[in-house]
Amino acid sequence: MMDDRNLSKISRKKKVFLATLGCKVNQSESEALAQLFADHGYDVVEDKENPDIIVINTCTVTGTGSSKSRKLIRRMIKEHPQSFIAVMGCYSQLNPEVVAALEGVDLVLGTKDRLTILEHLEKSWFGHIGSIEAGGKRSALKAVTQYDDQPEYEEMPLVKQESRGRAMIKIQDGCNQFCSYCIVPLARGPSRSRPPEKIEEEARMLLRGGYKELVLTGIHIGVYGRDWNRGGETGKDTGDELGCLLDRIAGLPGLARLRLGSIEPKEISSGLLQVIAKNQKVVCPHFHIPLQSGSDSVLKRMRRPYTTAEYWDLLDRIRSRFPQAAISADVMTGFPGETREEHTESMEFIQKCRLADLHVFPYSRRPGTPAADLGGQIEKREKTVRAKELLELGKTSRENYVSSWIKEEIEVLVEKIAATGNARGYTANYIEVEIPAELNFGDWKIGDIIRVRLEKSMLINEKY
């Protein structure tokens, strides 16, 4: 490895721009990479005007994600022919040859060993700088490494930044579930958990920096700790390690809110709900629980490890403890073989669930997954029709949930302050609100928690 001091000396005036696609995990990792560059003397810029280095963090969870990744890479190459282009993330992990074949790409990494980017970049930079300036043909260095059966969690730099009110902490990576439609286990590798002491260290640092809300995120957080052989298999009533972590972080001084990221239905155990109830003054009453379909026959073909009856039972258990909780879900439409009757069945079940929000995704055929080879692939036009029906259902469901809070006193964590003085942020149950400046009887700052009576005029227009 190149000596850190030499890296800093060489790179001191290089400008780096990071472009990120995809999920919250990708966003969190890009922030950590930005910190890595900053720690080694690079100038990390938000404006992509004339950067020396462009790092593109890609997505491939859907065909749209892959398409956006390719388009972004090509656009960055076209707009910045003199820049050093490094590509990483899920798309390049699965398609390293495709990415490397794009003329103008200099370095290809995946979702593993990303901290080697500095070493690879310095070696590649000096190898290619002449041809970059001359505009000649370049060949990419491929540094994508494959996962073994038991990879270790890859620690990344702690992000040192000014408070924005809410911060994400990555606690886990990878997935072992292998749903029939999903490419993520291939792109991210097996599940591995971050040590709790490292998570606490980052949480304490963020709280000292003024953050009030922390979000625990990952690819499959419900199996946190099970790779240490102290939990159980998916579907068992475990959740002990995640519950212990939640309990540990919830007690940290200065924390106002702790929010869980997306968690699978079979991984919300009675023990985990008990920990949340114990810490409900801090833990947000907001559960994002992927459903994917409200039809049992479709769930079976998807290889989802639950039935609609089990999902309904979970909602009942959550609402019995937290009557006003916001429960949101992901749902997929147009899965191979999905009949109009199954789609209707799914719609009826979703309506019954009274969700606070619904994220709708048309099925995307991912080569290498079992569902890609299933018969009965649904035409794009029909998937669009079904998606619109689900989006309309989600809009109604969202409006019903939010309207139940009108005239109630709520607390809003300020994340943005407009030039007008209006403050924008989220409630604990994830309702986005804009508070008019005339209600400001003090000096609002990002990170403040403001208590107001919710009026319809404060609601941010929902996008469906």
Is residue 22 domain-shared with residue 131, that is, in the same domain?
A: yes
Does residue 334 form part of some domain? yes
Alpha-carbon distance 424 to 386, whole Å?
33
Is residue 10 domain-shared with residue 136, that is, in the same domain?
A: yes
Mean pLDDT of 291-309: 98
Indicate if the pLDDT at residue 128 is higher than 60.
no
Indicate if the pLDDT at residue 438 is higher than 80.
yes
Q: Considering 142, 177, 206, which residue would you say is the last residue of a domain?
A: 142
Is residue 370 domain-shared with residue 432, that is, in the same domain?
A: no
Indicate if the pLDDT at residue 321 is higher than 60.
yes
Cβ neighbours of residue 84 closer than 8 Å, sequence gap 6 or more: 52, 53, 54, 106, 107, 121, 124, 125, 128, 132
Is residue 233 domain-shared with residue 111, that is, in the same domain?
A: no
Mean pLDDT of 10-25: 83
pLDDT of amino acid 130: 34
Does residue 246 form part of some domain? yes
pLDDT of amino acid 313: 98
Backbone phi, psi, residue 239, to 5°: 85, 10
CATH assignment at residue 96: 3.40.50.12160
Written as one letter, the residue type at 418 is: A
Q: Which two tokens stand for residue 151?
A: 């990879």
User: Residue 125 — very low, low, confident or very high, per pLDDT cuts 50/70/90?
Assistant: low
User: Residue 365 — very low, low, confident or very high, per pLDDT cuts 50/70/90?
Assistant: very high
Q: Considering 229, 250, 284, which residue would you say is the last residue of a domain?
A: 284
Question: What pLDDT, in 10s, does the model give residues 242-276?
Answer: 999 999 999 999 999 999 999 999 999 999 999 99
Is residue 215 domain-shared with residue 261, that is, in the same domain?
A: yes
Mean pLDDT of 52-59: 95
Find out whether 172 and 163 touch, Cβ atoms under 8 Å.
Answer: no
Is residue 40 domain-shared with residue 137, that is, in the same domain?
A: yes
Indicate if the pLDDT at residue 461 is higher than 70.
no
Helices within 148-230 (DSSP H only): 184-188, 196-208
Question: What pTM, to 2 d.p., does this model score?
Answer: 0.89
Is residue 111 domain-shared with residue 236, that is, in the same domain?
A: no
Does residue 279 form part of some domain? yes
Is residue 130 domain-shared with residue 171, that is, in the same domain?
A: no
Provide the residue range defining the domain that includes 279. Answer: 160-284
- What is the edge-to-edge ordering of all strands in the sheet holding 257-260? 192-193, 166-173, 213-218, 257-260
Is residue 9 domain-shared with residue 125, that is, in the same domain?
A: yes
Specify the higher pLDDT residue, 139 or 417: 417
Alpha-carbon distance 214 to 166, whole Å?
6
Nearest to 168 by CA among 257, 107, 108: 257
- CA-to-CA dists, residue 240 to 228, 255, 260, angstroms: 12, 22, 15
| Cα 192 to chain centroid, rounded | 16
Is residue 392 domain-shared with residue 418, that is, in the same domain?
A: no
Overall domain count for the chain? 4
Backbone phi, psi, residue 217, to 5°: -130, 165
Question: What pLDDT, in 10s, does the model give residues 223-241?
Answer: 999 998 744 444 344 448 9
CATH assignment at residue 181: 3.30.750.210
Length of the chain: 464
Indicate if the pLDDT at residue 462 is higher than 70.
no
Alpha-carbon distance 30 to 57, whole Å?
7
Indicate if the pLDDT at residue 154 is higher than 70.
yes
In DSSP terms, 57 is beta-bridged to 20, 88
Q: Considering the chain, what percentage of its residues have pLDDT values greater than 70?
A: 90
Does residue 437 form part of some domain? yes
Nearest to 262 by CA among 430, 126, 82, 404: 430
Specify the higher pLDDT residue, 180 or 147: 180
Is residue 96 domain-shared with residue 226, that is, in the same domain?
A: no
Indicate if the pLDDT at residue 164 is higher than 80.
no
Q: Are strands 53-58 and 15-20 parallel, antiparallel or unpaired?
A: parallel
pLDDT of amino acid 464: 24
Is residue 88 domain-shared with residue 112, that is, in the same domain?
A: yes
